[in-house]
Amino acid sequence: IAPNQIDALLAEPTTADRMRWLQRADLWRAEGLASLLEAGGQLINVDLGRARQVLDLCIDLAAVLAPDLRPRAIYLRAQTLALAGDCEQAQAEIYRARAEYQATGQMAAALRTNVGLLHVLIHLGRHQEALATAADVLDAAAQAGDSLPPETIALLTALLQQNRGICLKNMGQYAAA
């Protein structure tokens, strides 16, 4: 979805008008919502306000068009909250996204939400909680066995270890980091 399309979509005053806009643009389907969600994710590093608007719309529309996309939209919205400094609300959204990922059977994605959770906990200065969370998730990933692809486990482990290192560094435990 092009930036001018995002502008036109967000210029519509109501959700119903935005739904009609998506229908006219031939985006009123799961693939269209996936494209809109991707655009919302890309906007996070460019314009938090617009990203939040797009992601809120994706959350609303996912129930109708593609329920499996709803947890990703919630997780991305959590990122906007964290970047805006609302870490407590971001944490709540991460938990919500995780629960919805689990409810839709997306277990690898549910585990990956812990990477964002660690960022939030570190930002809040809750280093012991972050370390405990990382240890729990590393154990869960190790026990996942064949239920997760090896590359998913490797990536998750690397991201968790990186965040553990940041946490330990922030705590002054340089040797352990």
**What is the pLDDT, as a whole number, of residue 177?**
79
Nearest CA to 115 out of 99, 96, 138 is that of 138
Phi-psi region of 126 (alpha: psi -120 to 50; beta: other; left: phi over 0): beta
**What is the pLDDT, as a whole number, of residue 176?**
85
Cβ atoms of residues 76 and 41 within 8 Å? yes
**What is the pLDDT, as a whole number, of residue 165?**
95
* Cβ neighbour number for residue 15 with a 10 Å cutoff: 12
- Determine what percent of the chain is predicted with pLDDT higher than 90: 88
Cβ neighbours of residue 102 closer than 8 Å, sequence gap 6 or more: 110
Residues in the chain: 177
CB neighbour class for 59 (10 Å; exposed up to 12, middle 13-18, buried from 19):
buried
Q: Which residues of the chain have pLDDT under 50?
A: none
**What is the pLDDT, as a whole number, of residue 80?**
97
Cβ atoms of residues 71 and 104 within 8 Å? yes
**What is the pLDDT, as a whole number, of residue 171?**
92
**What is the pLDDT, as a whole number, of residue 147?**
85
pTM recorded for the entire structure: 0.92
How far is Cα 76 from Cα 56, in angstroms, rounded to an integer?
10
